Amino acid sequence: MERELLTSFKPILSNYLQEGVDLQVIGIYALQGTWFAMDCPKLMLLRSFVNMYELEIIEEEAFLKWKEDIGDDYPGKGKALFQVNQWLLWLEQMEEEEDGEEDQEA
């Protein structure tokens, strides 16, 4: 149901977030803030990240930039990182594999 709802909002979200990675990182922080305000429901943030990635609303570069941002301007970052860490590690490995394939083709 979450994915269906997100799919229906994809044109609107994409319109705002297509301008670049920095706006996408702000979008990720909005997800984090909403999740934190809801008292950190288990797996909700992970599902949101996966859906945003698979629906190509937010690029992998934005998720990795969010991970590396150490600012504490938004509450719940530590809890959020703990919940999505395994997925972010997978995402990093996928990016490294893609970079390796591009290097071999060149």
pLDDT, tens digit, 9 for 90 and up, residues 42-68: 999 999 999 999 999 999 999 999 999
Tokens of 7: 């799919």
Domain architecture of the chain: domains with CATH: 2-99 (1.25.40.180)
- pLDDT-derived band at 101, boundaries 50, 70, 90: confident
Q: Model-level pTM?
A: 0.88
- pLDDT-derived band at 1, boundaries 50, 70, 90: confident
Q: What percent of the chain has pLDDT over 70?
A: 95
